Structure 1
């Protein structure tokens, strides 16, 4: 029997450069699981941090020729209107925030670490392609 991912939903980001992905997300503690090198429109990259799995498609300029995305200007911010929430459970969110800040610099941070009205802490940053990430301390989103 094949081992399967522990999530029923995997986010797949369409990007023109896997090297930028690996550089940025490694600073967030993600590691490459596997990669199919970019060739035409067939590149694929999977990265993981704890139980967070992200996938990336294409990895080269052919991403702009994708049947759906080619109708938008290349300068369109990727992920507009979407926030990707990543939960941190292996360390205190304050420590993780300091690590990310040291590795990525202030420019990638959109909103510093803060306590939210609902009682949990998070911070927001943007990746090199414009994807908006919310890094949260672990919690139960289902309120169970």
Structure 2
């Protein structure tokens, strides 16, 4: 099993630029209203909120449903290979004014920092060097 996450965004160009220029993702495909980006084993699909139906019954995504906080209740955790890579990415994100919460050591043995993408999706960037995997690990 693999994971590919799809995020609905307000401005495709701004979001593609954020993931490419700030977090180092590579654009694999960009066709009209969709972009596929990859960094290592992480694949993100980006699609415009404007192409979603305005309203709908059921659990599917609609513009009405995403009008509030898009990332509420979700933390996207991205792991880099080692503390040095983490610190390098942190400094890069700081230069882009993207950091919401600074780099720090956590009680579970990992360092991480937090940021939000242009649409408010909450990202935690960490490394996989310690035995614990996070608050639940």
Unaligned stretches of 5+ residues in structure 1: 1-6, 39-43
Q: CA RMSD in A?
A: 2.2
Equivalence for 1:33: 28
Structure 1: which 4+ aligned runs deviate by more than 4 Å?
none
Equivalence for 2:15: 21
Q: How does 1:6-85 map to 2 (within 5 A)?
A: 8-26=2-20, 27-38=22-33, 44-57=34-47, 59=48, 61-63=50-52, 65=54, 67=56, 68-72=61-65, 74=67, 76-85=68-77
Matched length: 126
Contact 1:10–1:55 under 8 Å retained in 2: yes
Equivalence for 1:101: 94
* Deviates most, 61-70 or 22-31: 61-70
Unaligned stretches of 5+ residues in structure 2: none
Inter-CA distance 64–133: structure 2 relative to 1 (3 Å threshold): farther
Indicate the SS of the match to 2:15: helix
Q: TM-score, normalised by structure 2?
A: 0.80
Q: TM-score, normalised by structure 1?
A: 0.76
